[in-house]
A and B are shown apart, each in its own frame.
Chain A
Amino acid sequence: MDNLGMLFALLGAVLAALMAGIGSAIAVGMAGEAAAGVVTDDPSKFGKVLILQLLPGTQGIYGLLIAFLTLTQIGVLGGTSDISLAKGLLYFVSCMPIAIVGLWSALRQARASIASIALVAKRPDQAGKAIIFPAMVETYAILALLISILAVTGIGGLNI
């Protein structure tokens, strides 16, 4: 029970990587199906639909980044690993924005990407605009990432 703080902190890091990663995997998979459908009939659109397929993949990277940062902060990757229960819980909570928003935004971004892939299938000249629609969803994943970064890096300095 002495290491309960470490357990919570580690759980937060794992969930950040896990949930955002799962979201991105499902999302990129779905967008990939749509992209394959378009390329089957017109291989020249490969480059355009590939970008749209990759867009929902960023949440997985954000989750990984927060997980890595947390592991560094709590000393799992080296240094001291003396984490109180309160700090452990704070780390856990800090990881939640990117874990939850990462998962959800990836799934929603996939829908926008798929719709944009359909747009490119019909209007390849509008590929630039098509990228903007799913990219808008990215904003909220970035905001969650920012909050998670600020929180995870700030907890170390707290005297609790």
Chain B
Amino acid sequence: MQEKHYVYAVARIRSKEMQLLDTQFINQLVAAPGYDECLKLLLDKGWGREGSTELEQILAYEQERTWSFISELVEDMSVFNVLLLPNDYHNLKAAIKMVYTGFDDRGLFLSRGTIDADTILKAVKAQDFSLLPEHMSSSAREAYQVLTETGDGQLCDLIIDKAALEALYSAGKEQTDDVLRLFAELKIASSNIKIAVRAQRTGKPLEWIQRALAPCDSLDIEKLSQAAASGLEEIYEYLRRTEYEEGVKELEQSLSHFEKWCDDRLILKIQPQKYNPFTTGPLAAYLLARDNEIRTVRIILLGKLNQLSDQSIRERLRIMYV
């Protein structure tokens, strides 16, 4: 009977899916002559508050609108913690750096998280890390100490990024929802692959790579670390033996091509949720679809702003959910 609880919510999602941007509209945006025309098309589509002209404001508003809508439908939002955990760790990173540099800019915080950004900032300022959730407190303490004692921002980031991926792994394991489990696994795997490639390019030693990579089910971290310490071709060779085989040719082109491939893979894998009438799956899929949509719109508008060619913008476009 658990699934019954989301019948109303899923039905509302079905109506909302009608308002998602489809490929046709995305093509229209790309074909628009300039940034202002693109913005006008979006505003006509109902994006942003009335009178909004700033792209980031519009996108932040849309993000907030999506989460507000979902929180209207679901009483216990902790179901979606998996999607919000990366925001928490982003906020932790921002808070530690704000306290370290003494530069207070709340604009760096992401608004949605499982824990309030002000609580994170308060914990870091007071060095009272017990205010933070268990999965975050020890890494927060370690990262803060490393930054204050050594000033090594990269190591600080590594500690937090690794903790974020580990927390995501644990949260993903606890999930019963396929979409959220898939999101967690794909996010960790793609992060590990990107870390391995970057580490190889910058000549990081094996110990550093082993420390940076987080556990995940679809990759053998030890083999990936060894491959990254050996060479790029070894990484590709290892990945060809995993489910990320098709991503290797994208990886050979660039990391941004690989990121696009990962985003597209997630969207393609969640497509069946369009026909699932009961569980949290369609809700999670809608959140991911909106996120994908916002990312795509940002790519197009920033492309227009920087006067990239239509072809160049098109290469970066993500597959749409609808």
Chain B: residues with Cβ within 8 Å of the partner, total of: 15
Please indicate the chain B residues that have their CB under 8 angstroms from the CB of A40 in the complex. Answer: 12, 15
Q: Are B17 and A117 in contact, CB atoms less than 8 angstroms apart?
A: no
Let me know if A30 is at the binding interface, CB within 8 A: yes
Residue of B4, B15, B275, B278 ringed by the most chain A CB atoms within 10 A:
B15
Q: Are B17 and A37 in contact, CB atoms less than 8 angstroms apart?
A: no
Beyond A34-B277, A111-B277, whether A118 also contacts B14 by CB under 8 A is: yes
Beyond A30-B7, A122-B17, A122-B18, whether A37 also contacts B278 by CB under 8 A is: no
User: In angstroms, how far is the closest chain A Cβ from the Cβ of B178?
Assistant: 18
Q: Are B8 and A37 in contact, CB atoms less than 8 angstroms apart?
A: yes
A38-B15, A115-B277 provided; 10 other pairs, C-beta below 8 A? A30-B7, A36-B8, A37-B10, A38-B11, A42-B15, A114-B11, A118-B10, A118-B275, A122-B14, A122-B18
Let me know if A82 is at the binding interface, CB within 8 A: no
Let me know if B29 is at the binding interface, CB within 8 A: no
Let me know if A125 is at the binding interface, CB within 8 A: no
Let me know if A19 is at the binding interface, CB within 8 A: no
Let me know if B204 is at the binding interface, CB within 8 A: no
Which of B4, B7, B275 interacts with A37 by CB under 8 Å?
Answer: B7
Interface residues on A, range: 10 to 19
Alpha-carbon distance A155/B4, docked complex (angstroms): 40
Q: Are A41 and B7 in contact, CB atoms less than 8 angstroms apart?
A: no
Beyond A30-B4, A30-B7, A37-B7, whether A118 also contacts B277 by CB under 8 A is: yes
Alpha-carbon distance A114/B9, docked complex (angstroms): 12
User: In angstroms, how far is the closest chain A Cβ from the Cβ of B276?
Assistant: 9
Let me know if B40 is at the binding interface, CB within 8 A: no
Task: Give chain A's interface residues, CB within 8 Å of chain B.
Answer: 30, 33-38, 40-42, 111, 114-115, 117-118, 121-122
Which of A42, A114, A121, A122 interacts with B7 by CB under 8 Å?
Answer: A114
Q: Are B12 and A41 in contact, CB atoms less than 8 angstroms apart?
A: yes
Please indicate the chain A residues that have their CB under 8 angstroms from the CB of B278 in the complex. Answer: 111, 114
Let me know if B16 is at the binding interface, CB within 8 A: yes
Alpha-carbon distance A38/B277, docked complex (angstroms): 12
Please indicate the chain B residues that have their CB under 8 angstroms from the CB of A114 in the complex. Answer: 7, 11, 277-278
* Bitwise interface map of B from 237 to 278 toward A, beta carbon under 8 Å scored 1, else 0: 000000000000000000000000000000000000001011
Q: Are B11 and A34 in contact, CB atoms less than 8 angstroms apart?
A: yes
Which of B4, B9, B15, B275 interacts with A121 by CB under 8 Å?
Answer: B15
Please indicate the chain A residues that have their CB under 8 angstroms from the CB of B18 in the complex. Answer: 121-122
Please indicate the chain B residues that have their CB under 8 angstroms from the CB of A122 in the complex. Answer: 14, 17-18
Residues facing A in B12-51 (CB within 8 A) are: 12, 14-18
Alpha-carbon distance A22/B14, docked complex (angstroms): 28
Q: Which residue of A lies closest to B13 (CB)?
A: A37
Instruction: Enumerate the 9 nearest inter-chain pairs by beta-carbon distance, A residue then B residue, closest first.
Output: A37-B11, A41-B15, A121-B14, A34-B11, A33-B8, A37-B12, A33-B7, A37-B8, A118-B14
